[in-house]
Structure formats: C-alpha cells, structure tokens
Structure 1
C-alpha cells in the first residue's frame, strides 16, 4: 500500500515540475542568473560567448529560449 502511494506522489511531483518548466518560453538575464546560480560576470566568463549558447538581444535586453538554453547548459556542464 505504501509503495502505491509513493508511486502516485512521485508521478504527481513529476507532472508539476513539467508544468512549472513549461511556464517560461524565454528567460531574461535575471532568470538565467537564478537558474544557473551564477553571477553575470561568471556567465560572461564561462559560456555566454560560446557560439552554441542560444541568445537573442531585443532592444537592450537579452532573452534566452528556455528549453534550448536548458539543453545547452546541461551539455555544457557535462563538458566541464
């Protein structure tokens, strides 16, 4: 009985995480800093200028496609 409840709870948590991740289409710089736990200077010095890093400047503000940025960051950290 406990195993079944645990499985249901884990499934629900997984579904909620997907919903939260789907809320953002783009990240701004503040969200990027928050998601990576890095300062802006660290981001600039590590991966910002990597040609694979997805970014778009609109007006004076940088935007990062959430899904592609997450995929890049997961790959980038494995390469370090």
Structure 2
C-alpha cells in the first residue's frame, strides 16, 4: 500500500503559480489589442476610455485604416501605471 502526504499550503502555492504562468502565457499571445480587447481588459466603455486616458501622450496607439490598435505589452504597462496615479 502507498501512502501520500501533501502539504496543503505548498499545494496551493504550486497551483496558484501554475495559474499565474498560464495567464501570462495567454497574455503573451497577443501582440496588439484592438478597441474591443481594450474595452474588455479595462472593463471600461469606449467613452470612458476616451475621457480617462486615450489622449494621454504616454498611451501608445496607432490607427490603421479605420481601426485603432494598441501594442499589448506597452498598453498593459501604461494601464498599470495609470491606475496607480488615480
């Protein structure tokens, strides 16, 4: 007979670390966000985004054709800094 003992705290740390790694991996798949993704990631409406930070010169954006694109990594870093400043 085999008996296995598991430290609950260590197991929880391990699981949370794996979840965090997977979330980072999924985020890394995006190179650009469009307006739909930006609204989803910020939980803000387009009007709120426009009024809150869209025109901040630090917020990197490019309009290609009729569509706005935002570099994912830089946008995330900007948003993390912006929220701390509020």
* Alignment pair present for 1:37 and 2:76: no
> Residue 67 of structure 1 aligns with which residue?
73
- Is there any run of 5+ residues in structure 2 with no aligned partner, and where? 1-6
> Residue 4 of structure 2 aligns with which residue?
none
Equivalenced residues, count: 80
> Residue 9 of structure 1 aligns with which residue?
15
Secondary structure of residue in 2 paired with 1:53: coil
| Deviation (angstroms), 1:3 | 2.4
| Deviation (angstroms), 1:57 | 0.7
Provide the rounded CA distance (Å) in 1 between the counterparts of 2:52 and 2:8: 45
Large movers: runs of 4+ above 6 Å:
none
- Is there any run of 5+ residues in structure 1 with no aligned partner, and where? none
- Aligned ranges 1:14-33 → 2 under 5 Å: 14-33=20-39
